[in-house]
């Protein structure tokens, strides 16, 4: 089930329930339900087409980057990984050196506001790292697989 189906499916169900409450004849109810199902199918197809266009756009941008003579365009993804990872490591080290570790007081750990902000920002950087690594290595795997599939189709 696509994201679009997830969103519209609940809406269509609620509309169907409202129709069931307000329409008295079974023939009218069935006719309206069929019309809404057709609308749902058309919307689902449109959502799938939009998802396909987005993926094609991303792929074409990656291809344009790789075909460019500009070294920055070719290396932007690896440089982003290096930069994000470096920032995360530096931020971790800075926090460990300059922030006081929370100490238990009467069995309760009290954290300073600075420590909480540092910890939250470190978690955010870690999530960004995971997204970047997933996109880079996942995208590279898909690009390689797509190249092999295209080559096999051309044979």
User: Per DSSP, what are the bridge partners of residue 108?
Assistant: 105
Both 79 and 93 in one domain: the answer is yes
145 pLDDT tier (thresholds 50, 70, 90) = confident
Both 87 and 40 in one domain: the answer is no
pLDDT tens track for 76-130: 788 888 999 999 999 999 988 888 777 777 767 777 788 888 889 999 999 999 9
Both 63 and 30 in one domain: the answer is yes
Domain end point (choices 28, 50, 67): 67
Is the pLDDT assigned to residue 8 strictly greater than 60? no
Number of domains in the chain: 2
Is the pLDDT assigned to residue 18 strictly greater than 90? no
Enclosing domain of residue 30: 1-67
Q: How does 27-52 read in b/e, with b if 16+ C-beta sit within 10 Å?
A: eeeeebbeebeeebeebbeebeeeee
pLDDT tens track for 81-95: 899 999 999 999 998
Both 80 and 150 in one domain: the answer is yes
Token pair in block for residue 16: 């169907």
């Amino acid at each position: 089930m696509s994201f679009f189906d997830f969103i519209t499916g609940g809406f269509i169900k609620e509309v169907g329930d409202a129709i069931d409450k307000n329409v008295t004849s079974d023939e009218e109810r069935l006719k309206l339900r069929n019309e809404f199902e057709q609308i749902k199918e058309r919307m689902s197809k449109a959502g799938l087409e939009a998802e396909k266009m987005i993926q094609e756009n991303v792929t074409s941008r990656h291809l344009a980057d790789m075909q460019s003579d500009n070294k920055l365009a070719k290396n932007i993804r690896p440089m982003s990984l290096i930069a994000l990872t470096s920032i995360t490591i530096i931020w971790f080290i800075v926090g460990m050196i300059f922030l006081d570790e929370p100490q238990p007081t009467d069995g309760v750990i009290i954290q300073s506001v600075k420590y909480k902000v540092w910890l939250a920002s470190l978690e955010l950087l870690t999530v960004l790292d995971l997204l970047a690594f997933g996109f880079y290595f996942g995208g590279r795997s898909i690009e390689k697989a797509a190249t092999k599939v295209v080559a096999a189709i051309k044979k």
